[in-house]
C-alpha cells in the first residue's frame, strides 16, 4: 500500500550572515548603484563642472598674468600646471565632505536607512564599508573625468604620474571620508556641519597649497597648512603629475593619509555602533 502522507513542512532557513566584512558590504552594491542612478544628475555640477570652471578661471585666465617660474611654482612651468593637480585634490576633498555629512545624517536620523540595513544579517562595519565604497567610487569617476579633460591643456609631464594620481585621490578621499563620516555618525543634529564647512573645508581649500605654495605663508601658518591632509594630497598629486617625485616625501604623505584613514575607520565603527544601539 502506497504511503500518501505528505512530508512535514520545513521551517524557512534564516539568511546566512556574510562570511566577511567585504562580502557583507558587497551585498549592498546594488542598493548604492540604484542610489547613484537616481541622483547622478544632481552631482554633475559639483563633481565635474565646478572644478573645471575653477581651472579655467584660476589657471587659464588668472594664470596668464603669472610668470611660469618652476623655482617658485614647485617645479611647474606655468601657473595652470601648478593649479590643476591642486584642484584635483581639492575636488576630492569637497566631494567627500559633501557625501559624508548630510547623506549620512539622513541615513541615521531622518530616513533611518542604516536601521533597515542592520535588521538584516549585515553588521555596522559592513554598512559603513559599503557607504565609503560608494563615496570612493564617486571620487574615482570624478577624478578620471577631471584628469581626462585637463590633459587636453598639456599640463601633465608624467603620464605614469597621472595614472598614479588616481589611487592617490582614493587614499586622500578615504582620509577625509572616514573621519568626517565618524563625526557625522555621532551627531544628534546637523548644526555642527557649519563648523565643518566654514572652519575646516573652506580654509583648507584656500590655504593648503592648491592655489599657491604654502611657503608663501608666515611660518606658523605654513606649519598648520603642512599638517592638513589636503596639503599632503595636493603635494603628492603635484609631484606625480609633474614628474618631480621624491620617494621619501611621497612615503610620508602616504603613511600620513593611510593613518588618518585607519583612525577614521576605527572611530566611525565605534561612533555608529553606539548610535545604532542607543
Instruction: Report yes or no on 93 lying in a domain.
Output: yes
pLDDT at 12: 44
Nearest residue to 260 via CA among 180, 146, 196: 180
Number of structural domains the chain divides into: 1
The answer to whether residue 166 is domain-embedded is: yes
The reported pLDDT for the residue numbered 114 is 92
d(CA 31, CA 17): 18
Q: Look up the domain containing 216 and give its range.
A: 42-277
Domain presence at residue 214 = yes
Tell me, yes or no, whether 12 lies in a domain. no
The answer to whether residue 4 sits within a structural domain is no
Whether 96 contacts 173, CB under 8 Å: yes
Residue 204 lies in a domain: yes
Per-residue pLDDT of the chain (278 residues; tens, 9 = 90+): 445 554 544 444 445 555 688 998 999 999 999 988 888 777 777 667 777 777 777 767 776 667 766 767 777 888 888 999 999 999 999 999 999 999 999 999 898 999 999 888 899 999 999 999 999 999 999 999 889 888 888 888 888 999 999 999 999 999 999 999 999 999 998 999 999 999 999 999 999 999 989 999 999 999 999 999 999 999 999 999 998 899 999 999 999 999 999 999 999 999 999 988 75
Per-residue cell: 80: 595652470
CB 209 within 8 A of CB 69: no
User: pTM for this one?
Assistant: 0.87
Please give the radius of gyration of the chain, using alpha carbons only, rounded to the nearest integer: 23
Q: Let me know if residue 21 belongs to a domain.
A: no
Q: Is residue 33 part of a domain?
A: no
Amino acid at each position: 500500500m502506497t504511503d500518501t502522507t505528505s512530508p512535514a513542512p520545513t521551517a524557512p532557513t534564516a539568511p546566512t550572515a556574510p562570511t566577511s566584512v567585504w562580502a557583507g558590504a558587497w551585498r549592498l552594491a546594488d542598493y548604492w548603484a540604484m542610489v547613484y542612478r537616481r541622483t547622478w544628475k544632481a552631482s554633475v555640477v559639483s563633481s565635474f563642472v565646478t572644478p573645471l570652471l575653477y581651472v579655467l578661471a584660476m589657471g587659464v585666465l588668472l594664470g596668464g598674468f603669472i610668470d611660469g617660474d618652476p623655482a617658485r611654482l614647485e617645479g611647474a612651468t606655468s601657473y595652470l600646471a601648478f593649479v590643476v593637480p591642486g584642484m584635483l585634490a581639492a575636488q576630492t576633498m569637497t566631494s567627500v565632505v559633501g557625501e559624508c555629512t548630510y547623506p549620512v545624517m539622513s541615513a541615521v536620523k531622518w530616513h533611518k536607512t542604516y536601521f533597515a540595513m542592520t535588521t538584516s544579517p549585515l553588521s555596522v562595519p559592513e554598512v559603513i564599508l559599503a557607504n565609503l565604497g560608494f563615496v570612493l567610487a564617486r571620487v574615482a569617476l570624478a577624478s578620471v573625468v577631471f584628469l581626462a579633460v585637463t590633459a587636453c591643456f598639456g599640463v601633465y609631464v608624467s603620464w605614469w604620474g597621472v595614472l598614479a594620481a588616481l589611487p592617490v585621490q582614493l587614499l586622500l578621499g578615504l582620509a577625509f571620508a572616514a573621519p568626517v563620516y565618524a563625526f557625522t555618525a555621532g551627531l544628534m543634529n546637523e548644526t555642527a556641519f557649519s563648523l565643518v564647512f566654514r572652519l575646516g573645508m573652506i580654509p583648507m581649500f584656500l590655504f593648503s597649497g592648491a592655489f599657491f605654495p604654502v611657503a608663501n605663508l608666515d611660518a606658523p601658518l605654513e606649519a598648520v597648512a603642512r599638517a592638513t591632509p589636503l596639503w599632503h594630497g595636493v603635494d603628492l598629486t603635484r609631484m606625480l603629475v609633474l614628474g618631480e617625485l621624491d620617494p621619501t616625501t611621497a612615503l610620508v604623505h602616504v603613511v600620513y593619509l593611510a593613518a588618518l584613514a585607519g583612525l577614521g575607520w576605527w572611530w566611525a565603527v565605534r561612533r555608529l555602533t553606539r548610535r545604532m544601539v542607543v
